[in-house]
Amino acid sequence: MTDYLSNLPVELIYKIVDDITIFDILGCLCLVNKRLRLICLGYNHFRLDLSYVKKRKQFDLFCDRLASISSQIDSLSFSDFNDATMPSKIERFFLRFQVINDKFSNLKSLHLSHVDPIMWKSIKNHVKLLMSLVSLFIDVAYIWVDADPDKEISYLLKDILFMSISLKHAHVRCNNGSRIYLSDICGKQISSIEHLTLTNVSIDLQQLYSIAPDLCTLNTRVTAYHPAYKFHVNPPENLQRLSLNISHLYFSLIEQILHSMKRLTHLIIIASDAFRDVTDGDEWERILTKIKSFKFLFRFHESTWTEEAISLDSFQSLFWLENKQWYVGYDRCTISGFSLLYSIPYCTNIYPWSYMKGAIDTKTTGPQILSLDKVNYCKIDNKFSIDDKRLCRLTNLQKLSISDFDISFHVLLNKFVPHIDMSIITTFCIPIRRVNINNDVFVQFVSTMSNLVSLGAPLILLKLLLVSHWSNIRRLEIFLSWPTATAVERSLTVDEIDVFFRSFTHIEYLSFQHNPDLNISEILNNIPITISNIVIGHPYRTIPADFPNFITPDWLQENTRLRNFSYYCNESNAVSLWL
């Protein structure tokens, strides 16, 4: 077979390699011939995502071989937030490469997930030594209220803002809805950050601008201001892209925020509890003349629901339709009056299903049909009621869950499934504990999700699936059964465990709550080699010494055949075993 790739110029091969993972480069391309091997080993922009390395032994072997090319890696990622082994991987990695700047001298981008205050304190000095680091992305683990999430996130952000003069891009994503306080450092330090994204974090713009004058891009949630509050902000001179998530939105607030932004070209506003004065297209025209791209989603305050429907006439001027070619959509629930005003195409991945009951009155200023292709998650409850046309526009739905009501499953089957391409669903959660579901119907329903990768359900439902083979499922979560469930419904016998793992032959992740009826020892003694991570939950605030059979390393040593694993227990008493 002719090898055309090897005959290409080196520069072009490097362009191709830019879109290939380091594992494919080293494991495939390097084996084609000597020339490709030499070219690949001379490549200086390897991007390494260690979430692809599942097993602990594989991780150690890969790290052993990493030393020879570590100076050629410019991007390092521990990025899968669904991977509970990440804390162990990060700890193991930084222990192995303690003199990290000497080894990864060309590292420009670093992404860390599951970062809690303890982990950050243990690794931040290593991260600070990365003198070539330009971009840092931190996914913060859920911080329990006892630890004061606002205070801990504020500390972390301050560390990042002033980490080094080389760092220009920073992204902090929280699982808590945190509010950042920077007043103690205002006027004392200046950050070199130019591009900042804060997800699920509220911040005071005045404080941020005073310490980050070089910002070119900002994406954050803004601290709520009273409409009578007057403030003057001095925005960064070079700020060009601004994305704000705002609660209680008045037009006067936007006017104050955008005042003096001479170079702003891209604006996104996501607002909850917006008021009627933001529906005047003429007023928006007055302040948006220099903006090239404007995207928005306004959810209106409950006090406006009983008022007349919003008119879109002011959004149909020459400025909106011809000069900018910006189109606006308006959805109003005919039952409650809840309404949305948004730019077209719809710009977020969430649609407020729980507020949209019954028929929806939709108006637009343009020819576009409303697309919900960015909406990837939907939760069904017993009151779910959306018109069929809107459901048909969910063309990219990936995650589906239903609430804890028997009727919800029947709503799902009768009102949802007929209008959705179920084959695109990759994640399904059904935490129903009291069920009255026909066995064959449930098995057939799960079968329609042919690309299902992650499944969460109580044991009583999972047992129904043991009649089939589910080789596509990689993640399996066993939810708690209803307290009145029988011991048979809550447990797995030795024979059932064998059938269980013969039905789910390719699972890599298994999680369940500690349950004395579950036969945990037998489960752990019979896990297939495909599993790399097991998570066992315990009641929150439980002291291991006071909880019978709390899963500890000693308990595992005495009651199972598991060996050579990494053990991690987080603040919520969830034990993660990395095999």
Tell whether 478 is covered by a domain. Answer: yes
Give the span between the Cα atoms of 435 and 457, in whole angstroms. Answer: 11
Q: Are strands 533-537 and 169-179 parallel, antiparallel or unpaired?
A: unpaired
Q: Are strands 575-578 and 566-569 parallel, antiparallel or unpaired?
A: antiparallel
Tell whether 83 is covered by a domain. Answer: no
Q: Name residue, tokens 């949209």.
A: 356
Would you state the pLDDT for residue 406?
64
Give the span between the Cα atoms of 507 and 532, in whole angstroms. Answer: 9
Give the span between the Cα atoms of 194 and 171, in whole angstroms. Answer: 11
Q: Name residue, tokens 């409409």.
A: 227
Tell whether 395 is covered by a domain. Answer: yes
Q: Are strands 266-274 and 293-300 parallel, antiparallel or unpaired?
A: parallel
Walk along the chain (579 residues) and give the pLDDT tens digit of each residue: 456 777 788 888 788 788 888 878 777 777 777 787 888 878 889 899 998 899 999 999 888 888 888 899 999 999 888 899 999 999 999 988 876 778 899 999 999 999 998 899 999 999 999 999 999 999 998 877 666 788 888 899 999 999 999 999 999 999 877 777 776 666 678 999 999 999 998 888 888 999 999 999 999 998 766 665 666 678 999 999 999 999 888 998 899 889 889 999 999 999 998 999 999 999 999 999 999 999 999 999 888 888 888 999 999 999 999 999 999 999 998 888 889 999 998 999 888 877 877 778 889 998 766 778 889 998 887 666 666 777 778 889 999 988 766 667 777 887 788 888 999 999 999 886 665 678 888 899 999 999 999 999 988 889 999 999 999 999 999 998 776 666 666 788 899 999 999 999 999 999 999 987 788 999 999 999 999 999 999 988 788 888 888 999 999 999 999 999 999 998 889 999 999
Give the span between the Cα atoms of 492 and 206, in whole angstroms. Answer: 58
- Give me 322's structure tokens: 């011809």
Give the span between the Cα atoms of 412 and 401, in whole angstroms. Answer: 10
Give the span between the Cα atoms of 170 and 203, in whole angstroms. Answer: 15
List residues bridging with 500 in a β-sheet.
none
Q: What CA–CA distances, in Å, run from 212 to 217, 235, 243, 389? A: 11, 9, 16, 46
Give the span between the Cα atoms of 393 and 419, in whole angstroms. Answer: 9
List residues bridging with 537 in a β-sheet.
513
Tell whether 166 is covered by a domain. Answer: no
Residue-by-residue DSSP string for 154-170: HHHHHHHHTS-TT--EE
Residue-by-residue DSSP string for 454-519: EEEEEHHHHGGGGGS--TT--EEEEEPPPTTS-HHHH---HHHHHHHHHHSTT--EEEEE--GGG-
Task: Tell which residue, 362, 366, 360, has the closest CA to residue 345.
Answer: 366
Give the angle subtended at the CA of 573 by the CAs of 51 and 463, to the nearest 5°: 75
To which H or E segment does residue 150 belong?
helix 149-161
Q: Name residue, tokens 């990864």.
A: 104
Q: What CA–CA distances, in Å, run from 387 to 263, 376, 384, 410? A: 42, 18, 10, 17
Cβ pair 182, 203 in contact under 8 A: yes
Q: Which domain holds residue 413?
A: 376-579
- Give me 138's structure tokens: 């931190």
Give the span between the Cα atoms of 37 and 32, in whole angstroms. Answer: 7
- Give me 250's structure tokens: 């008045």
Tell whether 319 is covered by a domain. Answer: no
The length of the chain is: 579
To which H or E segment does residue 478 belong?
strand 475-479
Rg (CA), the chain: 27
Tell whether 178 is covered by a domain. Answer: no
Would you state the pLDDT for residue 562?
95
Task: Tell which residue, 311, 309, 315, 313, has the closest CA to residue 296.
Answer: 315
Residue-by-residue DSSP string for 76-107: EEE--TT-TTHHHHHHHHHHHTSSHHHH-TT-
3-state secondary structure of 278: helix
Task: Tell which residue, 51, 108, 107, has the closest CA to residue 80.
Answer: 51
- Cα 407 versus chain centre, distance: 29
Q: Name residue, tokens 């390393």.
A: 553
Tell whether 517 is covered by a domain. Answer: yes
CATH code, domain with 569: 3.80.10
Task: Tell which residue, 131, 14, 133, 15, has the closest CA to residue 75.
Answer: 133
- Cα 352 versus chain centre, distance: 18
Q: In this structure, which amino acid lies at residue 83?
A: D
pTM: 0.91
Neighbour count for residue 274 (Cβ, 10 Å)? 26
Give the number of domains in the chain: 1
CA atoms within 13 A on the CB side of 284: 24
Give the angle subtended at the CA of 217 by the CAs of 215 and 221, to the nearest 5°: 100
Tell whether 195 is covered by a domain. Answer: no
Give the span between the Cα atoms of 269 and 223, in whole angstroms. Answer: 14
Q: In this structure, which amino acid lies at residue 215?
A: L
Cβ pair 76, 104 in contact under 8 A: yes
